[in-house]
Amino acid sequence: MTGAQPSRLIERFEAAFGASPDGIWQAPGRVNLIGEHTDYNEGFVLPFAIDKTAKTVVRRRNDTMVRLLSTFGNQGVIEADTRTLAPGAASDWTKYPLGVVWALQQQGIDVPGFDLLLDSDVPLGAGLSSSHAIECAVITALNDLTEAGLTAEEMVLLTQRAENDYVGAPTGIMDQSASLRGSQGHAVFLDCRDQSVRLVPFQAREAGLVLLVIDTKVEHSHADGGYASRRAACERGAEIMGASSLRDVGTADLDRAAELLDATTFRRVRHVVTENERVLQTVETLNAGGPAHIGALLDASHVSMRDDFEISCPELDLAVDTARASGAIGARMTGGGFGGSAIALTPVGDEQQVRDAVTRAFADAGFVSPGIFTVTPAAGAVRLS
Ligand code: GAF
């Protein structure tokens, strides 16, 4: 039923919960064009919302019960009580909606009980932010139903709190910002220090290109140690450099960084500092010449993540290298790393060739067959009915 029409979802909701819903809200997943692990360093990112979404069908209740059902898995209806939510209590997908309720409560917002049906066509564990899509759909619904009047910026911080303190993943604000603030045909140029956003046109088709996503099927979780250890290295690096965050360290400071920091911390810092520069250059290049000119920046970003930040993996490297060798004009892993997806900016005429070459290379290497599809920048979270 994944990716179902709203009318089918309403039928399913009514069959499960015995009443009509108050509405349907949807929020997209994202790809990040460039700017990786810069968000929690108060830096720059350039993601966009994709045309794959989580949908939540919700009905407000008159008690404190939350009843949750998804169209995937066979878990049936899972119940919780808004009065007894505690971080770490849920281990399945329900931690995302319950984390949002918990974060709203921490903010002093009174959240009533509700029934919720979730459907999503954002691939799970593919590094396309399927969990943030759920959280953003839920917070958008609850913001409407409680009339809390939260701004997009406030909802970004509350879903970050849900992720950090309820789910247990020490992530930044990029994914929620793309999901809540995305715009069709645009990438979201976000300054993570003050949450200011500039929308940058990104229309690959008009430039004769497609953006391919290559899902390596290597699953990852940001609650695992790798993400947290990279974040800790960045914080350590900034502190030794006497900066409040790596946002305040520039390329001109790298010689001094090399003297002060151990070799590993230096490479982590160099990735973030140079990645911030690449984001700025990508925005400038997109505005001046369009997507056909950003290939080298995507490639450089991947090399930096592979060699300096060390968050790639053999499957991501193979996807990127094969895509480049078979026609893509630029490619990089996207998202937190250690698995998930790569993106490959590819001339329309070479799309099939790249798909075939990557599929063949994965088979030859004995890797699980990758998922390959195109994405375009889509609108952010919205109420459908
Ligand atoms: C994940 C996190 F959720 C983001 O906040 C960001 O740090 C990203 O990894 C890396 O750029 O998607």
Question: How does DSSP classify residue 136?
Answer: H
Q: Let me know if residue 77 belongs to a domain.
A: yes
Ligand 1 neighbours (beta carbon < 6 A): 32, 36-37, 39-40, 129, 171-172, 174-175, 222, 335-336
Span 350-377, average pLDDT: 98
Phi, psi (degrees; rounded to nearest 5) at 157: -70, -35
Q: Let me know if residue 174 belongs to a domain.
A: yes
pLDDT at 135: 98
Q: Which of 117, 103, 12 is nearest to 67 (CA)?
A: 117
Alpha carbon distance 53, 68 (integer Å)? 18
Tokens of 131: 């969990």
pLDDT at 348: 98
Alpha carbon distance 256, 338 (integer Å)? 30
Phi, psi (degrees; rounded to nearest 5) at 354: -65, -45
Percent above pLDDT 70 for the chain: 100
Name the residue at shortest CA distance from atom 9 of ligand 1: 336
Span 316-334, average pLDDT: 98
Mutate to test the pocket of ligand 1, among 175, 176, 311 (most ligand atoms within 8 A of CB): 175
- 133 CA to centre of ligand 1 in angstroms: 13
Q: Let me know if residue 235 belongs to a domain.
A: no
Q: Let me know if residue 178 belongs to a domain.
A: yes
Whether the Cβ atoms of residue 247 and residue 238 lie closer than 8 Å to each other = no
- 37 CA to centre of ligand 1 in angstroms: 6
Is residue 1's pLDDT more than 60?
Answer: no
Mutate to test the pocket of ligand 1, among 131, 135, 171 (most ligand atoms within 8 A of CB): 171
Q: Let me know if residue 151 belongs to a domain.
A: yes
Alpha carbon distance 189, 199 (integer Å)? 6
Kindly report the average pLDDT of the chain as a whole number.
Answer: 97
Between 26 and 124, residue with greater pLDDT: 26
Tokens of 172: 């930044």
Alpha carbon distance 153, 149 (integer Å)? 12
Q: Kindly report the CA angle at 214 between 213 and 220, in degrees rounded to 5?
A: 105
Q: Which of 43, 44, 47 is nearest to 332 (CA)?
A: 47
Alpha carbon distance 247, 233 (integer Å)? 14
Q: What is the DSSP track for 52-67?
A: EEEEEEEEE-SSSEEE
Q: Let me know if residue 158 belongs to a domain.
A: yes
Q: Which amino acid is at 18?
A: G
Whether the Cβ atoms of residue 275 and residue 36 lie closer than 8 Å to each other = yes
pLDDT digits (tens, 9 = 90+) for 196-247: 999 999 999 999 999 999 999 999 888 788 999 999 999 999 999 999 999 9
pLDDT at 94: 96
Tell me the CA end-to-end span of the chain in Å, nearest whole number: 19
Reduced to 3 states (helix: H, G, I; strand: E, B; else coil), residue 95 is helix
Alpha carbon distance 82, 142 (integer Å)? 13
Task: Could you list the beta-strand ranges (E) of 102-225.
Answer: 114-120, 186-191, 196-201, 209-215
- Domain interval for residue 184: 6-199+379-383
Lowest mean pLDDT among 27-31, 47-51, 125-129, 257-261: 125-129
Query: In ligand 1, which atom is closest to the CA atom of 35?
Result: 11
Tokens of 152: 């997009």
Q: Is the ipTM of this complex over 0.85?
A: yes
pLDDT at 270: 99
pLDDT at 99: 98
Q: Which amino acid is at 116?
A: L
Report the number of distinct structural domains present in the chain. Answer: 1
Lowest mean pLDDT among 22-36, 47-61, 66-80, 145-159: 66-80
Mutate to test the pocket of ligand 1, among 129, 222, 272 (most ligand atoms within 8 A of CB): 222
Phi, psi (degrees; rounded to nearest 5) at 381: -60, 145
Name the residue at shortest CA distance from atom 3 of ligand 1: 171
- 116 CA to centre of ligand 1 in angstroms: 27
Span 56-62, average pLDDT: 98
Q: Which of 113, 116, 117 is nearest to 105 (CA)?
A: 113
pLDDT at 90: 84
Is residue 268's pLDDT more than 90?
Answer: yes
Span 314-325, average pLDDT: 98
pLDDT digits (tens, 9 = 90+) for 85-111: 999 888 899 999 999 999 999 999 999
CATH code of 51's domain = 3.30.230.10
Q: Let me know if residue 252 belongs to a domain.
A: no
Q: Let me know if residue 243 belongs to a domain.
A: no
Whether the Cβ atoms of residue 315 and residue 342 lie closer than 8 Å to each other = no
Tokens of 121: 């066509």
Reduced to 3 states (helix: H, G, I; strand: E, B; else coil), residue 3 is coil
Phi, psi (degrees; rounded to nearest 5) at 117: -110, 130
